[in-house]
Amino acid sequence: MRQFLKYTLASFTGSILFMLVMGLLLTLGAVGLAGALVVSLARSGGSPTVEKDSVLVYDLSTLVPDTPIFQEPGDFVVNGPVQPQVSLRQAVLALEAAAEDERIVALYLKGSPTSVGMGLANQQEMAQALTRFKESGKPILAYDVDWSEREYALVALADTLYLHPFGDLEMNGLYSETLYQADALEKLGIGVQVTRTGAYKSAVEPFTNNAMSPQEREQTQRLLQDIWQGLLTEMAKPRSLTPQRLQAIANTQGLLFGEAAKTAGLVDELAYEDEVVDKLRELTRESDDGGDTEADFRQVDLPTYAATVEDEWATRSASTEVAVVYAEGPIVYGEDGLDGVGSGVIAGNTLARQLRQLRQNDEVKAVVLRVNSPGGSALASEVILREVQLIQAEGIPVVVSMGDVAASGGYWIAASADAIVAQPGTITGSIGVFSLFLNLEDLSNTVGLNWEGVKTAELADIFSISRPKTERELAILQATVDTLYDAFLDRVEAGRQLPRAEVANLAQGRVWSGQTSQTLGLVDELGGLQQAIEKAAELAELGEDWRLESYPKPSDWQQFWATFLGSQVEAPATNAFLADPLIAQGQRFLGDSLVLARTLNDPRGLYMRLPYTLRVN
């Protein structure tokens, strides 16, 4: 009840503040005043202070997105503030700076009761930054009540890894499952017809099949095996264990409780949180004053510390610019904020316009396109790719940095880049095309609905949902899909300079890990965003005479609210009911289905999209 009242009052207070500020802005002129308030608040706020002998605390639930998540005022009023966050690049810079900062004496990795606040590729880049911090000689301590495999892959390098005496460590491998709905749709009277190319292009199978196809089973098994082997290596190496030993534990034990985890060498010490705090207080040279357990040592959290770290590449004075463009979310056709396109997606026309503006900017000498997308609209993907190619035609190199996923349409927009950099755990490939058509004829007959219409040509109603497609119509639509698939192969062949037969063999809609993609030639280098930026500057032959700029820029409103609300907010309390695994699984399925439905807006119904949403927990 106390938490309920706290968040209710917080939302109520936020609503009042919002209305007051809105009234003031409307009275005095919204746009001009918003900009002035941003500048004023930024000046008055100042940088956070980091005390001497502080511990840098990295709560693993902290969101680490590619680029900061900015809230609109309406989102804040309805949903409250976003949980603590720091962009990937700023988090990496913070860890590198902390390694050299005399005020920071140690790093504390605090386990999360929910999940790691980033995808696998970003986690691998953070792990590399943690390794560089460890090389400074400063100690890394990590503690949790229960370690998940994802967390453990990040904290295994800690100098002292703690586990609650009654806690557990998960080591039971990866699992993927898909809900197949063909029988259910048939019983509901919903007809499904598809056209597709690629034996492994399985995005439509949950709607047409009652079981996993051999091709889908094969590619999913290969992908999970690649990711799992990478995790085994990351977990085993710093613990002086072997992947084989961890595999044996996964096969026979699954969960290791307390002493068993220590005996197996997976953790160093069993301890309660207050005992870990005592160790941290020794590092900060503080005496025990009986304060609050969590806050009872001198500390600064990662988002706060990151705000004090200057990005030298972004602040140095230079006449030329390396532009980083963030493309994150499903690819949809249209304009951001228009055409029914909401937030959290890549609006094809909007991204294309951003790329066009960079091409026309004489200061831009290299572009890094950061892609984190499962794909989507075929037409929108081509609109984006065209602008990438026009940038290259001006002699400006384009390097693609792949995030957690850059597959299907996400790979289409990357294919022609001068270089592609991905993490081993990146999900990419899925070179294939599909279209999905539902019809409600049987459902309409069952409930007593009758569709009537008139037309001026035989094929005028080809996209009607009132009836199934005829064989002739499906042949026309299949020919369109085949043409688009051939175009996809063309772009990969030309962009990656691979033989056509080789491209055709590794395509077929098949999904690959970044590790395997590098061996196949779909990816040039393994690495993160910083490596991609350095590669772009190298290709442009800029030396050190360049500065970094990130796009798209936040709007005045977004900047205002980010400054007004501040970057530090308390993470929302976890609802015990929603934490139930079955409920959480249902929520994820429903959420994924709604996102998929919202983003299928290609005007021709042609899609290049990953067949599933893969989460490694």
User: Residue 559 — left, alpha, or beta (φ > 0 → left; ψ -120 to 50 → alpha)?
Assistant: alpha
The structure tokens 């999905």 sit at 436
DSSP assignment of 194-258: EEEESTT--TTHHHH-SS--HHHHHHHHHHHHHHHHHHHHHHHGGGT--HHHHHHHHHHTEEEET
Burial pattern 81-91, b for ≥16 Cβ within 10 A else e, equals bbbbbbbbbbb
DSSP assignment of 82-140: PPPB--HHHHHHHHHHHHH-TTEEEEEEE--SS--SS-HHHHHHHHHHHHHHHTTT--E
User: Residue 88 — left, alpha, or beta (φ > 0 → left; ψ -120 to 50 → alpha)?
Assistant: alpha
Instruction: State which H helix or E strand residue 328 sits in.
Output: strand 321-328
Determine which one of 54, 373, 408, 517 is catalytic.
408
- Do the beta carbons of residue 122 and residue 421 sit within 8 Å? no
Cα distances (angstroms) measured from residue 573 to each of 11, 83, 116, 167, 566 = 14, 10, 16, 21, 19
Alpha-carbon gap, residue 140 to 2, rounded angstroms: 35
Is 279 part of the annotated catalytic residue set?
A: no
3-state SS, residue 398: strand
Q: What sign for the dihedral angle of Cα 547, 552, 554, 556?
A: positive
- Do the beta carbons of residue 234 and residue 152 sit within 8 Å? no
- Do the beta carbons of residue 558 and residue 70 sit within 8 Å? yes
- Do the beta carbons of residue 88 and residue 66 sit within 8 Å? yes
Which alpha helices (H) appear in 360-433, and where do they start and end? 378-393, 409-412
Burial pattern 342-364, b for ≥16 Cβ within 10 A else e, equals eeebbbbbbbbbbbeebbeeeeb
Determine which one of 201, 262, 469, 535 is catalytic.
201
Alpha-carbon gap, residue 123 to 64, rounded angstroms: 9
- Joined together, the tokens standing for residue 27 give 């009275």
Is 6 part of the annotated catalytic residue set?
A: no
- Do the beta carbons of residue 399 and residue 419 sit within 8 Å? yes
Q: What sign for the dihedral angle of Cα 527, 531, 537, 538?
A: negative
Residues labelled as active-site residues: 201, 408
